[in-house]
Amino acid sequence: MTITPVTPQAMTAEQREQFERDGYLIVRNVLSPDEVAHYAAAVDRVYAEHEAVGKLGADASLHKLSAVASCPELNGLVDHPAVFPLVWSMIGWNVHVYHSHLDVHPPIKQTKPYRFEWHQDGGRQNGELETDPRPRLSVKLAFWLSDVSEPGRGNFKVVPGSHKMNRIDGPPSRDIEWPDPAGAIEVCVHPGDAVFFDRRIWHARSNNYSEITRKAVFFGYTFRWIATRDERPAPEHVARLNPVQRQLVGALEGRIDDPVDGGDHAWGYFPDEVPLYTDLKERGLLDSSFPWLRR
């Protein structure tokens, strides 16, 4: 597989300003055509396995949680050097993937019943945190493996700038037809592009009434002091991961397994044992002007 060589670098001041303003960034050409083919083939394999045992959705879609545990070939996406720096630039080194999924949405042949899909990520984080706006807490990367460069292809929809809004107007129940929020857009991206977004941005998947099967992989990153809802990959797959990938998928070993110190490890009390911390330190990328990049 040919990978476009990239030296990890912190997000630029322009990217930070745009992300703070809009709540998302589109990064073009993150994956080479070879990488797109490689990852799409892996996703296709998982899809075929689920299809063979009748485990697709009613619309023949697949929304499979725990991306790396479910499809070990996706491990190279979890710390992809072209976009992973956006993650640690925004939330630092004490992070892991807490929620990830691979998604396959074939063309829908019959109109689906309406469902209001707009949401912020994090479930009850959005009811149980008292501030306005609520804190960011997590960010997400979406890698696009199919062409959604035109609207109507099951595009990811966002309301730019809505990440500071604790609520939007919505129907009394999710099956009642309701207009999209003011300012909503369909994000148009090519295979190999990535979208980086704040979990708080109001977003939704749209229905794919095009002729093209939509394929994407999503990784949500948060602080290690927030519990993961992802499964850990099997030991034979963990063996192939680099130390930062192991941190991200919750597969570090050693003190982290200690009944007492393990909690402190997740709370970030032992930075020198956290692979992303040591990696950034060696590269001189720990910019102490950001609290989450301090020791």
Ligand X SMILES: O=C(O)CCC(=O)C(=O)O
Decide: is 221 part of the binding site for ligand X (CB under 6 A): no
Binding ligand X (rule: CB under 6 A), the pick from 118, 156, 202, 277 is 156
Residue that has been written with the tokens 């909690």 in this structure: 263
Q: Could you tell me if 198 and 64 are in contact, meaning their C-beta atoms sit under 8 angstroms apart?
A: no
φ/ψ of residue 37, rounded to 5 = -65, -40
Out of 136, 205, 232, 281, the only residue in the binding site for ligand X (CB under 6 A) is: 205
Distance, in Å, from the CA atom of 268 to the CA atom of 266, rounded to the nearest integer, reads 5
Contact 91, 294 (CB under 8 A): no
Does position 186 interact with ligand X (CB under 6 A)? The reply is no
Other Cβ atoms less than 10 A from the Cβ of 125: the count is: 17
Of the two residues 35 and 186, which places its CB atom closer to ligand X in the complex? 186
Among 200, 203, 246, 265, binds ligand X (CB under 6 A): 203
Question: Residue from 22, 35, 79, 103 that binds ligand X (CB under 6 A)?
Answer: 103
User: Is residue 147 a contact residue for ligand X (CB under 6 A)?
Assistant: no
Q: How far is the CB of 282 from ligand X (least distance, A)?
A: 32
Residue 198 within binding range of ligand X, rule CB under 6 A: no
Rounded to whole angstroms, the Cα distance separating 146 from 31 reads: 12
CB of 281 to ligand X, least distance (A): 31
Query: Which residue in 35, 121, 193, 198 binds ligand X (CB under 6 A)?
Result: 121
Spell out where 206-253 has E strands.
Answer: 214-223
Token pair 């990064």 is at which residue?
27
User: Which residues contact ligand X (rule: CB under 6 A)?
Assistant: 103, 121, 140, 156, 203, 205, 218
